[in-house]
Amino acid sequence: DTGVSQDPRHKITKRGQNVTFRCDPISEHNRLYWYRQTLGQGPEFLTYFQNEAQLEKSRLLSDRFSAERPKGSFSTLEIQRTEQGDSAMYLCASSSAVYEQYFGPGTRLTVT
Partner 1 sequence: GQNIDQPTEMTATEGAIVQINCTYQTSGFNGLFWYQQHAGEAPTFLSYNVLDGLEEKGRFSSFLSRSKGYSYLLLKELQMKDSASYLCAVSLISSGSARQLTFGSGTQLTVLP
Q: Which residues bind partner 1 (CB under 8 A)?
A: 31, 33, 35, 40-45, 48, 50, 55-56, 91, 93, 95, 99-106
Q: In this complex, which beta carbon is closest to partner 1, that of residue 74 or of residue 80?
A: 74
As a dihedral over the C-alpha atoms of residue 6, residue 9, residue 15, residue 19, rounded to 10 degrees, the angle is -30
Q: What is the largest CA-CA distance in the chain?
A: 40
CB of 16 to partner 1, least distance (A): 27
CB of 7 to partner 1, least distance (A): 14
Distance (Å, whole) CA 78 – CA 99: 27
CB neighbourhood size of 57 (10 A):
15
Q: In this complex, which beta carbon is closest to partner 1, that of residue 22 or of residue 80?
A: 22
